[in-house]
Every structure is written in C-alpha cells, then in structure tokens.
Amino acid sequence: MAQISKSLYKTIADAYAAIDVNLAGVATDARTALDAIVDVDTTYQGTDPSNADADAALEIELALLTPFNVAYISSQNISVSVSSLLDAVRAVNNHVVNQTTGTATAPVKLDSWINDEMDSTWTTDCPQGWANLCSDAGYDITNWTTSAT
C-alpha cells in the first residue's frame, strides 16, 4: 500500500480542523440564542418601540424557552459526540504510521510526519483543530508543532 500524499493529508487535516472549530462554536451559538430568550423581557418592545410590554415579553419567553433550552442541550451533545470523526482520524494517522518505513515507534513516526513531512505543506504548523482531534483520538501530540486556526 502506498503512503498517503502530503497534500491529501493536509486536505483531510484542514477539513477536520475546521470541523473541530465549528463544533466548538455550536454550543456557544445555541447558548447565545437561549440567553437572548431569557433576556427578552428587557429588550422586547413590540410594535411600538416607545412602549415596552412585559406581558408580551413573558409570553414570548415562555413559548420559546423550553425548545431553545432543549436545542442548547442537544448542541452540547453534538459538540462532544465525535466518535465517528475520531475513527477517521485514527484511520488516516494509522495509515501514515503503517506506511512509514524504519524501526521507530509509532508515536515517533507520526511526530516526524507532522513536524517534518507536513511542515512544508502547511503554511505554518499543524492546525490546532487537527491536533485537538488527534489528541482526542488517543495520539500524544506533546511534540507536535501546532498553530491556532
């Protein structure tokens, strides 16, 4: 089996790094919406901006609070439910390790791939989101040179 190309690895890593970043923001965005609903009584003005209506605000809050809270809780589950992503991360990294010649240990082979082989392919260093997912997948990234994405 041939070794994966650096450009293919970069494409995969960059895409998954973006997924990691986007997943981290899912719960934050859902919480922002939920907080806006909880705070609707201080911002609701109805159709007449000069006349705030506390009863109308309460009606809106009661109608929307439960579904938006459920959505917020679900978004937290989405952001931590990444098992299928981690399987894919393991697959590509295991491929790299298995196709790298030499007697070095698997962690040393992957460290070398990230820091030496991929260094010239990424514009800076390993994307932080990719490093996060690799760490979550069980890889020791202590020696990786990473950059915030």
**pTM of full prediction above 0.75:** no
Quote the CA–CA distance of 49 and 51 in Å, as a whole number: 6
Structural domain of 34: 24-80
Q: Hey, which residues does 126 pair with through a beta bridge?
A: 146
Regarding whether 87 and 76 lie in a shared domain, the answer is: no
Taking only the tens place, the pLDDT of each residue in 12-65 is 999 999 998 888 888 888 888 888 887 765 555 556 555 556 777 778 888 888
User: Do both 91 and 71 map to the same domain?
Assistant: no
- Mean pLDDT to the nearest integer, 111-115: 92
Q: Are residues 132 and 76 in the same domain?
A: no
